[in-house]
Structure 1
Amino acid sequence: MSPILERLRGRLIVSCQAYPGEPLRVPEVMQRMAQAVVAGGAAGLRAQGLEDIRLIAASTDVPLTGLWKDGEDDVFITPTLEHAIAVADAGADIVALDGTRRPRPDGRTLAETIAGLRAHADVLVMADCGSLDDALAAEDAGADVVGTTLAGYSGEREKTDGPDVALIDQLVARCRRPVVVEGRVHTPAQAADAIDRGAFAVVVGTAITHPTTITSWFDAAVTGRARR
Structure 2
Amino acid sequence: MASNSINSLTPLADNLIVSCQAPATSPLHDPTIIAAMAEASVLNGAVGVRIDTPSHVAAVRSKVNVPIIGLWKRSHSGYEVYITPQFEDAEAIANAGADIIAIDATFRARPQGETVENLIARIHNELGKQVMADVDSIECAISAANAGADCVGTTLYGYTTQTEHLSPPGFDLLTQMVQQLNVPVICEGGIASPQMAKQALELGAYAVVVGTAITGIDYQVKNYLSLLQN
Q: Is the 8 A contact 1:17 1:47 kept in 2?
A: yes
Which of 134, 139, 142 lines up with 1:133 in the alignment?
139
Match in the other structure for 2:66: 62
Aligned ranges 1:17-96 → 2 under 5 Å? 17-72=21-76, 73-96=79-102
Q: Is the 8 A contact 1:180 1:201 kept in 2?
A: yes
For the Cα contact (< 8 Å) 1:162–1:186, is it kept in 2?
no
Task: Give the Cα separation in 1 of the matches to 2:130 and 2:193.
Answer: 28
Query: Which stretches in structure 2 are left out of the alignment for 5+ residues?
Result: none
- State the percentage of identical aligned residues: 40
What is the aligned partner in structure 2 of residue 104 from structure 1?
Answer: 110
Shift of 1:77: 0.4
Q: Deviations over 1:50-82 (max 9, x none)?
A: 000011112101100000000142111000111
* Alpha-carbon distance in structure 2 between the residues aligned to 1:164 and 1:116: 29
- 2:181 is aligned to 175
Answer whether contact 2:69 2:99 (CA < 8 A) is retained: yes
Q: Contact (CA 8 Å) 1:163, 1:184: kept in 2 or not?
A: yes
Letter in 2 for 1:134: C
For 1:155, the equivalent position in structure 2 comes to 161
Contact 1:101 1:137 in 2 (8 A): no
User: Do the aligned partners of residues 158 and 76 (structure 1) sit closer, same or farther apart at CA in structure 2, a change above 3 Å counting?
Assistant: closer
Contact kept, 8 Å, 1:65 with 1:93, in 2: the verdict is: yes
Q: Which runs of 5+ in 1 are unaligned?
A: none
* 1:123 CA drift (Å): 0.9
Distance 1:93 1:159 in 2: 33
Count of paired positions: 224
Shift of 1:161: 4.0
Judge conservation of contact 1:151–1:159 (CA < 8 Å) in 2: no
Match of 2:126 in 1: 120
Q: CA deviation at 1:118?
A: 1.8
| Residue 198 (structure 1) shift | 0.3
Summarize the Cα distance change of 1:200–1:65 in structure 2 as closer, same or farther, 3 Å threshold.
Answer: same
TM-score w.r.t. length of structure 2: 0.93
In the TM superposition, 1:177-216 aligns within 5 A as 177-216=183-222
| SS in structure 2 of the partner of residue 125 of structure 1 | strand
Q: What is the distance in 2 between the residues matched to 1:143 and 1:99? A: 9
Q: Give the structure-1-normalised TM-score.
A: 0.93
**1:102, 1:177 → 2: CA distance?**
22
8 Å Cα contact 2:34-2:56 kept in structure 1:
yes
What's the offset of the Cα at 1:155? Answer: 2.5
1:7 aligns to 2:11 (yes or no)? yes
The whole-number CA distance in structure 2 between the counterparts of 1:76 and 1:139 is 20
Give yes or no for contact 2:85–2:110 (8 Å, CA) kept in 1: yes
For 2:168 and 2:104, the matched residues in 1 are separated by 21
Task: Give the CA deviation at 1:214.
Answer: 1.8
Aligned residues of 1:99 and 1:129 also touching (Cα < 8 A)? yes
